[in-house]
């Protein structure tokens, strides 16, 4: 995670914590949308959700998550197993980033984030 990106859009520690909390809550919803899109075999909903997640990740400096989202947008949807694997990678990266923040900057994680 590139904390400099977060510093560019939020000035105080509280603003940063609020942005991260919002991102992680939104991420859960977007990942649920991607699961639904996978079940429904809806390539357009999948790509739309991946794009939303990519924008959020880019805004706050989560480079690997941003890259995974970009890759997700490009998955040929005729192979659901590829999308399923990518979804797991997105979920794992989200957890990894959250753990990284908890270790390096725990003050940025508010309870419930």
Residue 12 DSSP class: S
Q: What is the pLDDT of residues 71-95, one digit of tens each?
A: 999 988 777 788 899 999 999 999 9
| Span 36-56, average pLDDT | 93
Q: What pLDDT shows up at residue 7? A: 85
Q: Is residue 17 part of a domain?
A: no
Q: What pLDDT shows up at residue 2? A: 81
> The pTM is what?
0.83
**In whole angstroms, what is the distance from residue 32 CA to residue 41 CA?**
14
Q: Is residue 109 part of a domain?
A: no
Q: Is residue 110 part of a domain?
A: no
Q: Is residue 97 part of a domain?
A: yes
Q: What pLDDT shows up at residue 70? A: 95
> 13-23: buried (b, 16+ CB within 10 Å) or exposed (e) per residue?
eeebbebbbeb
């Amino acid at each position: 995670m590139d904390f400099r990106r977060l510093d560019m859009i939020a000035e105080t520690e509280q603003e940063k914590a609020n942005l991260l909390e919002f991102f992680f809550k939104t991420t859960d919803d977007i990942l649920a949308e991607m699961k639904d899109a996978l079940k429904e075999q809806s390539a357009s909903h999948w790509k739309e959700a991946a794009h939303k997640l990519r924008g959020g990740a880019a805004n706050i400096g989560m480079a690997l998550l941003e890259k995974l989202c970009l890759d997700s947008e490009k998955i040929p949807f005729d192979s659901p197993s590829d999308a399923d694997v990518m979804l797991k990678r997105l979920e794992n990266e989200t957890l990894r980033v959250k753990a990284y923040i908890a270790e390096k900057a725990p003050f940025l994680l508010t309870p419930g984030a």
